[in-house]
Structure formats: structure tokens, C-alpha cells
Amino acid sequence: MFEDAELGHTVAKDEYTKRSAELRQALLAAQYELKGSRAFPVIVLVGGVEGGGRGETVNALTSWMDPRHIEVNGIGEPSDEEAERPRLWRFWRTLPAGGRIGIFFGSWYTWPIVNAVMEEKKPHWPRLESRVNEINRFERMLADEGALILKFWFHLSKKAQRKRLKELKKDPLTRWRVTAKDEAYFKRYDRFREVSERVLRDTSHAYAPWIVVEGVDSRYRELAVAGELLDGLRHRLATPEGPNAVPATPDPTPSIDTDRTVLTELDLGQKMSRKAYDPALEKWQGKLALMTRHKRFRKHSVVIVFEGNDAAGKGGAIRRLAAAVDSRMLRINAVAAPTDEEKSHPYLWRFWRQLPRRGNIAVFDRSWYGRVLVERVEGFCSMWDWQRAYGEINDFEEEMTAHGVIVVKFWLAISKAEQLRRFKEREAVPFKKFKITDEDWRNRKKWDAYSDAVCDMVAHTSTTRAPWTLVEASNKYHARVKVLRTVHDALERALD
């Protein structure tokens, strides 16, 4: 979920000057149109990590638009008037009227997240879920009543936040801004990340999307938020009134600086020699073998997903993995087109069937992600179908992890040039020829569409409990060892 917001997105000064001038003008125009006949309320939530630039961005937004039609609500501790009424009362009283923009700096999300993070031991997930339900119903009602809702989450990686807090403290002019509370929050960065990821995932809807903004660079931040706000306003102003039809699933990634993605930022130049590979393979296979014989392993099962570019070396990696494990406990499921019986059930049915018993490992050579990859790109299912699949897949994996299943997911990535080289090699070598088909060449033509699908897939379905591991696979040795090591580490964490 936060992967894209840790890439270090920045915007150059020239570009900022040009784009911000355009945006300001367009935002003002949209704001005046909003004051016209349609006059729906606009609700903008601003949340995220300390030091992520929330306040600065709110200030920029209000200075860019007509401040007479904007209200900024800072949400702190409830007043005594507020404490004597039901929880949501304080938010109801500050809801913007039609035609106005209400910016909530802190919101109905603040306390549920803070409470879940700061609780002494483990966060009380059912209680948090109960709060999340309440929020979902509230926002659904607001949307049904015509409000446009946009939710921005300012994110910093742990490293970036540490740096940011240090900088603030060094400067006497900003030192006051770092409170003891901020330090306490930072100590719990990992839990904060896990809790907020979960809340964001469960409350991001087409009618009230979360947009995760990297908070490092102020120019990037401002353009990202202003750009998304403008898009949201324009889209709604252009949509006829009435109960919402099925809208598009929002893209959690801002549309500024999209040339840099989780895929483009992979270092595909990773090297590993045969000489380094042989002992590394042996080492990690051995460690993994030991792990699967651990007493506690019998209480878990493992599900390993392999997806990747054609010819990225999934098969080879799977074989090296299988070699490390007692074959009685491992089953490899090669996923092809569904059978008739499978087609007459929900699409996840054939994967549920293959879930392993305790103490067993199921490897999926391609998987349920087909729906948001090949089925999306090839148009085998409707947009509505693949968009709802993100949530259904998260639910599926949540069912697994809640039951103690260890879920490991790999995307094996190679460059377009490397793929061409491998395709040609396959065609040239007789015993490799069966591996290359016309379909591979057809898929290759849709390289960019597949890349988009992969980025969206990672943004929607990489979670703390079932994260994606992107594997630089141009060097097969590196890829295989990384796969083995990742599976080993996941088991080690779970059995610990």
C-alpha cells in the first residue's frame, strides 16, 4: 500500500512553478463552478504521519483557492460539549454545507488509529474494526447524500521520518514543533504503519478513496494533493446527479510523477556469479529445510504465489524451492485456464480448493492474481469484475493469515530487453522451444498495460500480513536465492 510513497518522489522547481500556476487557476474555476447550481459539499480529509507535511499542504490549498468558501477543521481533544454527545456529533456539526469545501486536518480517523497504535500490548483488532465499520457507514451515507469525499494520507518511510524529525529538532525555529507525543509515536512507527495500512485498506472506496502521498518533497506533495482534488472536482461536476452508479476503484497513487513506479525503481542490474550462487543456494535450501522440520511448523501452512513477466524464470525458482522441502508436504499448482466446473463457481473457488492442510506448503505457479493481471489486460472480465477483485483477494488472504497460513507472494521482474533475449534463446534451443508460444509474443506487445496492472496490484494488495516481494530476475541466480531467502525469513518470523 505504501510502496509507491517510499520511492522518493520529487518535483523540480521549474516544473512546480509551471504546474502550480495552472493548477491554481483551474482549482479556482472549479471552486466557482461548485458554488453554482450543483452545490454539493466537498469533504477533504488530511491524515498521515507526523512530519509528513500535512499542515503545510493544507495551508497551500487554502491559499490557492478562495478562502471564503473553505473551512479548515482542526480536530483535537473533544470539548465538554462534544464529550457529552455520541462520538460522531462533533463531526456532524462541522460538516460543510453544499457548495463549500471542508478540510479536516485530523478527522474521524484520528482517534481510532491513535488508540489502536498506543494501546499497551497488541492493537485490539475487533475494536478497531468496529470503529472502521462506523466510519464506512458514515462516509457511505455522506456520499449517498451527495458529498464528494477525498482522503489524503501523507506517508514517510521510517528512515525519512527519522531524518525529518532530526532536521526539525536541529533548527531552533522549528524545534518547538517536535513534541514528546511525536517522539512517542515514532517509537511505534511499525505498529502505526500496520494499523494505518489496515484502516486505509478497509476504508478506501470508490466513493471515498484514500490517496497516499509521499511526504518528503513539499513541491511533490502540493502538486499531488491539488491535482487529485482538481480531478475529483472536475469528475464530479461532469457527472450527472442521482444515486451513484458503480464507479471506478480509485487509484491510491497520485498521478504526479508517474514515470517512477515500484517497477521502474527496481535495480535489474543485480549480479550474482555461479561461484557465489552454488554455496548460497545450498545454504538457503538447508536453512529452509530445517525450518520446515521445526516443531511449530506443524501449526502453520504456507501458501507461496509466483507471478512474473513471461520468461522471468518462475519455473526454475520453484524447482529450487521444491528441492529444499520434503515432497510429501509440498504441492505445486500450475494454474491454467479454468475447467467447466471451476467456471460454474466463483473465481476464487479453484484456489480455495487447493489450500493446504496444516504442516503443508502449496505453491501456485500463477494464481488468483490472474484476475487483475491477464484477465484485466486481455479483457477476459469486465472492469467491474477485476476492480472488485482487489478487495476480494485481500479478504481471501486475510482469511488465510488469520488462520495462521503464511502467505508469500513473488513478482519476478525482468526488463523488456532481457525478455526478448530469452524468447529468442528459447526459440533457438530445441528443448526449450515448448516454453515459447505465440501467446507470449502477443503478451509482450502489451508490456505497458501489464506494467500498469502490476503497479496497481502491488498498491492494492501488498499488505503487512501478505506482502509482495518484487524480485529482480534478470540474473537468475540472484532471483532464486532471493526467493529462497524470502520464504525462509517469512517462516522464521511466523515461527518465532
> What is the layout of strands, in order, in the sheet containing 405-413?
330-334, 361-365, 301-308, 405-413, 468-472
Binding residues for a copy of itself restricted to 295-324, rule: CB under 8 A: 301
Tell me, residue by residue from 455 to 484, as one string, x for binding to a copy of itself by CB under 8 A and - for no binding.
------------------------------
Measured from the CB atom, the residue of 243 and 279 that comes closer to a copy of itself is 243
Measured from the CB atom, the residue of 26 and 348 that comes closer to a copy of itself is 348
Triad 404, 197, 407: Cα angle to 5° = 30
Phi, psi for residue 161 in degrees, rounded to 5: -70, -40
239 touches a copy of itself by CB under 8 A: no
Binding span for a copy of itself by CB under 8 A among 77-85, 224-232, 305-313, 364-372: 77-85
Binding span for a copy of itself by CB under 8 A among 11-19, 260-268, 381-389, 458-466: 381-389
130 touches a copy of itself by CB under 8 A: yes
Binding residues for a copy of itself restricted to 243-262, rule: CB under 8 A: 243, 246
Q: Nearest to residue 51, comparing CAs of 198, 201, 218?
A: 218
Tell me, residue by residue from 192 to 231, as one string, x for binding to a copy of itself by CB under 8 A and - for no binding.
----------------------------------------
Minimum distance from CB of 32 to a copy of itself (Å)? 17
CA dist 41 and 64 (Å) reads 19
Which cell is 149 given? 469525499
Q: Does residue 169 sit in helix, strand or coil?
A: helix
- Give long-range contacts, CB 8 A cutoff, 24+ apart: 138-141: 138/88, 138/91, 138/108, 139/203, 139/205, 139/207, 139/208, 140/205, 140/207, 140/208
Query: How long a stretch of residues is the chain?
Result: 496
Q: Which of 319, 353, 421, 442 binds a copy of itself (CB under 8 A)?
A: 353
Q: Which of 66, 67, 125, 278 binds a copy of itself (CB under 8 A)?
A: 125
Q: Nearest to residue 221, comparing CAs of 52, 103, 105?
A: 52
Minimum distance from CB of 316 to a copy of itself (Å)? 30
Binding residues for a copy of itself restricted to 133-152, rule: CB under 8 A: 133-134, 137-138, 141-142, 144-145, 147
Q: Which of 77, 84, 120, 171 binds a copy of itself (CB under 8 A)?
A: 84
367 touches a copy of itself by CB under 8 A: no
Count of C-beta atoms within a 10 Å radius of residue 154: 25
Q: Nearest to residue 225, comparing CAs of 450, 59, 417, 15?
A: 59
Measured from the CB atom, the residue of 32 and 384 that comes closer to a copy of itself is 384
Which cell is 214 given? 509521499
Q: Which residues of 313-346 are buried (b: 16+ CB within 10 A; e: fewer)?
A: bbebbbebbeebbeeebbebbebeeeeeeeeeee
Binding span for a copy of itself by CB under 8 A among 178-186, 317-325, 348-356, 473-481: 348-356
Residues that bind a copy of itself (CB under 8 A): 39, 41, 81, 84-89, 92-93, 95, 97-99, 124-127, 129-130, 133-134, 137-138, 141-142, 144-145, 147, 243, 246, 301, 341, 344-349, 352-353, 355, 357-358, 382, 384-385, 388, 391-392, 395, 399-400, 402-403, 405
